[in-house]
Structure 1
Amino acid sequence: MSLVSNKIVVITGSSRGIGRGCALEFAKHGASGLVLHYFGDAETEQEITSLKAEIENPAIYPQSPKVVVVAGDIADSATSTKIVEIGVKTFGRIDVVVSNAGICPFAEFLTMPHAIWERTRQVNLDGSFFVVQAVANQMKNQTPQGGSIIGISSISALVGGELQCHYTPTKAGILSLMQSCAVALGKYNIRANAILPGTIATDINKEDLADVVKRENMEKRTCLGRLGVPSDIAGPVVFLASDLAKYVTGASLLVDGGLFVNLQ
């Protein structure tokens, strides 16, 4: 079933983890074009090249979308401007943006260098604002007008973390940003929603989850008895991007395997 056929999709932080999973899921469900943002260092350059080749392989995706890649630090507003310019130059419009790029350098609150706070806020929250604003302006001005904005927040928007006093506020901010954007942009037929992943096994937390005891405890805390994987998030993202969700805006979808509700 082609849930997002003919849609042009922007994904930030797409070289690995949730962003990569979303790119593959959009390709699977018929997106016609993908604008894949990545940081631009040697490691992410290699990763995005591999991802592009996989998506454009007709043996894997018979109706594979055209892919363009855009490098840059999402904390720099010029990167978001470049994403939109390249996307529109290549495809003529943008229908969906998934604001996913983020970092989580664990740090103890009382001794946290202010530089860690600044960088985490700049990438996670400022970067989300920049790309959402840039894409929303394009969605407002294109014909037909409109589109879907999806902010990747976190269960951390709702709960605290001892080593995440810099991270959780940024994810709460993304949730709030999506709610306010839904109000501000609805008149332009632009929907804005947030996905709140639980514990998803990606590069962002691989060192933390290398602790076998901690990993097993996290698995036991979920109702489903396992940690999430990127495809668990990608499915709900594609749903929110699709016309199946055409009356869904200002919503937040917790995708955590039942972690939040499992208090007993």
Structure 2
Amino acid sequence: MLLEGKVVLVTGASAGIGRAVAIGCAEHGADVALNFSRDQAGADGAVAAIEALGRRAVAIQGDVADPQTARDFIDRAVDALGRIDAFVNNAGICPFHAFLDMPVETFERTMRVNLHGAYFMVQAAANRMVEQGDGGSIIAMSSISALVGGEYQTHYTPTKAGLHSLMQSAAIALGRHNIRCNSLFPGTILTDINKDDLADENKRRSMEGRVPLGRLGQPEDLIGPTVFLASDLARYVTGASLLVDGGLYVNLQ
């Protein structure tokens, strides 16, 4: 129960990593507010799972690409749950596409969701934490893609590198307020984002063969690292990053 008595906010929490992390934080005692864009059924299911654990939960719809969504989410979450102790910026998209004919809208939409949306969400969460006056934890779900390239991810990888850079700078800007800012770098995690890309059995086996732990990641693999960074166990950890990739990054040579 590392998060008992805390309130955690998670964006993009109706499915995948966000859903797993939201429920995992509730398993450790937190009340949770979930942001979601379109999947009402998925959001409702996550809320039900959290409430079944005896914790409070609220799902708030909004497109993170719209800067107004950030303030709306933070305000409504705090109205419902009383405060904010940890904020997890997870919402993101990765519409795989070749570089030379990348549509402008695909590039710009990816930037608006993954990076611009994160900036305004983190800013709104930080402002509320500063008002509360007792610190907090901000966690960005970056990616191994912040460290390595991807042929069909030229629009995506810069956003994940930008998220990590944002956490480094925010750690400096917010340290005086006892607000910690850190990044998680998931490796290849089986989610809706990559299910089509990994539908090719040969490609999937090849990817698994590059992971020292011998398997691709599951969304639940991000729970422990997130709970740690959100908890008081990480009270002196800020501006840091943690790979959660089964060893993939160190085995890429």
Q: State the TM-score, normalized to the length of structure 1.
A: 0.94
Residue 183 of structure 2: aligned partner: 194
What is the alpha-carbon distance in structure 1 between the residues aligned to residue 232 and residue 187 of structure 2? 25
**Counterpart Cα distance in 2 of 1:195 and 1:243:** 17
Superposition map of 1:126-141 within 5 A: 126-141=116-131
SS at match of 1:191: strand
Residue aligning to 1:67: 57
Identical aligned pairs, as a percentage?
58
**CA deviation vs aligned residue, 1:218-254 (integer Å, no higher than 9, x gap):** 0000000000001111210110000110000000001
In the alignment, is residue 175 of structure 1 matched against residue 164 of structure 2?
yes
Q: Is the 8 A contact 2:185 2:244 kept in 1?
A: yes
- Selected match of 2:68 from 67, 70, 78: 78
User: Superposed, which structure 2 residues align to 1:130-169 within 5 Å?
Assistant: 130-143=120-133, 145-169=134-158
Match of 2:45 in 1: 50
Code of the residue aligned with 2:83 in structure 1: it is: R
- Whether the aligned pair in 1 keeps the contact of 2:12 and 2:35 (CA below 8 Å) is yes
How far did 1:183 drift?
0.4
Establish whether residue 224 from structure 1 lines up as the match of residue 247 from structure 2. no
The offset of 1:22, in angstroms, is 0.2
1:34 corresponds, among 29, 32, 35, to: 32
* Cross-structure match for 1:18: 17
Partner of 1:252: 241
Q: Spell out, residue by residue over 1:33-53, the C-alpha distance to the aligned partner (whole angstroms, 9 max, x if none).
A: 2110000x3xx1011111111
Asked if 1:97 is matched to 2:87, the reply is yes
Q: Secondary structure at the match of 2:193?
A: helix
Q: Name the CA distance, whole Å, in 1 between partners of 2:236 and 2:77.
A: 26
Question: Secondary structure of 1:48's partner?
Answer: helix
- AA at the equivalent of 1:166: H
Asked if residue 240 in structure 1 is aligned to residue 239 in structure 2, the reply is: no
Give the aligned partner of residue 4 of structure 2: 5
Letter in 2 for 1:112: M
For residue 255 of structure 1, report the CA deviation from its aligned partner: 0.6
Separation (CA, whole Å) in 2 of partners of 1:263 and 1:93: 42
2:207 & 2:79 partners in 1: Cα distance?
A: 45
Deviations 1:160-181 (A, max 9, x none): 0000000000000000000000
Structure 1 stretch displaced more, 16-25 or 83-92: 83-92
3-state SS of paired residue (1:238): helix
SS in 2 for 1:208: coil
Matched letter for residue 36 of structure 1: L
- Please, which runs of 5 or more residues in structure 1 have no aligned partner? none
Letter in 1 for 2:34: L
Q: Structure 1 residue 146: deviation in Å?
A: 0.8
Displaced runs of 4+ in structure 1, greater than 6 A? none
RMSD between aligned alpha carbons? 0.8
Q: Give the TM-score taking structure 2 as reference length.
A: 0.98
Give the Å deviation of 1:100.
0.2
User: What is the SS of the residue equivalent to 2:161?
Assistant: helix
The alpha carbon displacement at 1:92 in A equals: 2.4
Deviation at 1:93, TM superposition (A): 1.3
Q: Quote how far apart the aligned CAs of 1:84 are.
A: 1.1
1:112 aligns with 2:107: no
Residue 249 of structure 2 aligns to a residue in which SS? Answer: coil
Question: 1:155: how far off?
Answer: 0.2
How many residues end up aligned between the 2 structures?
Answer: 253
